[in-house]
Structure formats: C-alpha cells, structure tokens
Amino acid sequence: MAQVAGSFSEGLMTLLLGLKNGNVPITKEVVIATVKNRDNVKEVMALLLDQRADEVKITEEVLKEAAGDEVKITEEVVIAAAGNRYSSKKLMALLLNRRGNEIKITKKVVIAVARNRYSAKKLMALLLDRRGNEVKITEEMVIAAARNWSKS
C-alpha cells in the first residue's frame, strides 16, 4: 500500500481502499509515501483523511518528510518549536542540526525558551551550548526566566 500511495493517483488509491473494505491499515509508511508523492500528494492525502482520518497519524517523521528543504525556517517556526510542550528540546535540536544556518537566535526566541515551563532549563542549555555567542541576555529575558522558574 505504501508503494501505491507514493506512486499512483487518487483513483487507484480509491479503488484499493474500496476493494479491501477498510481492511488495509494506514501505516506510518503509507502516510510518509503519500507526502513524498509529489504529483498527487494533495489528492491522495485528502482521500486518506476523508476515508480513514482516524488512522492517519501526522508524526514528527511525517512532517520532516513533507517539509524537506522547501520550508523556510522563520522566527515564528523557531518560537513555536521552543514553546512546544512535549517535544521542544527534540524539535529545537532537529532545527539546529538540520537547518541551523537559517536560524537566528533573536530576543523573541530566547524569551520563548525562557517561558517554556516544561523544558526551559534544557532548552536554554541547548541554545547556550550550540549558539551561546548569539544569545544576548537582557533584563526582559531574565525576568521571563525568573517568572517561569519560580512556578516550577
């Protein structure tokens, strides 16, 4: 099914999903193959979501495959990664490892890191370790960190 999702059209996927009466599992591999299907990604993904949305899991791996090198890493993307409750350190490390040359460590990014009540200490250590020369500590950042860390 993954090979079909990655190579063929919406019509063939509709036929295959219909033939098996819902017995074909929509695995991570099927979703990844779908996002790699550059010719029909929109149609095939829409079909999967329309017919089997409960089985389509959008994971970090799927997002990486979908984004490739085509997504611009903006300050907003970095701030969103820094604020992620469950995976902020992993996401920030991924961004720094893969697209570090595009990432600017701005005042807003450092404040977002300081305000992450779940991972601020680990995130700040990561930033200082990897890009410490770019982290300019201001009074506003210290206040944000103090407010956050006093609650934990």
Share of the chain above pLDDT 70, in %: 74
Take residue 58 and report the two structure tokens written for it: 């959008």
pLDDT at 99 over 60: yes
pLDDT at 133 over 70: yes
* Together in a domain, 28 and 79: no
Per DSSP, 38 falls in state T
* Together in a domain, 61 and 99: no
* Together in a domain, 93 and 116: yes
Residue 65 confidence (pLDDT) = 72
Residue 152 confidence (pLDDT) = 46
* Together in a domain, 85 and 132: yes
* Together in a domain, 61 and 79: no
Summarize the confidence of residues 86-106 as an average pLDDT: 87
* Together in a domain, 92 and 136: yes
* Together in a domain, 83 and 121: yes
Residue scoring higher pLDDT (132 or 27): 132
Q: Of 45, 65, 85, at which residue does a domain stop?
A: 65
What is the CB neighbour count within 10 angstroms for residue 73? Answer: 17
Q: Which domain holds residue 38?
A: 2-65
Residue 132 confidence (pLDDT) = 92
Residue 144 confidence (pLDDT) = 82
Which of 90, 149, 140, 87 lies closest to 117 in space, CA to CA?
A: 149
Which of 139, 131, 142 lies closest to 78 in space, CA to CA?
A: 131
* Together in a domain, 146 and 77: yes
One-letter amino acid of 101:
N
* Together in a domain, 10 and 37: yes
Summarize the confidence of residues 4-8 as an average pLDDT: 49
Distance CA 22, CA 66 (A): 25
Q: CA end-to-end span of the chain, whole Å?
A: 47
Residue 136 confidence (pLDDT) = 86
Residue 110 confidence (pLDDT) = 93
pLDDT in tens, 25-73: 777 887 778 777 767 777 777 777 777 777 777 676 776 776 666 666 7
What is the average pLDDT score of the chain?
77
Q: Considering its fold, how many domains does the chain have in total? A: 2
* Together in a domain, 14 and 41: yes
* Together in a domain, 8 and 36: yes
Take residue 141 and report the two structure tokens written for it: 């950042």
* Together in a domain, 35 and 86: no
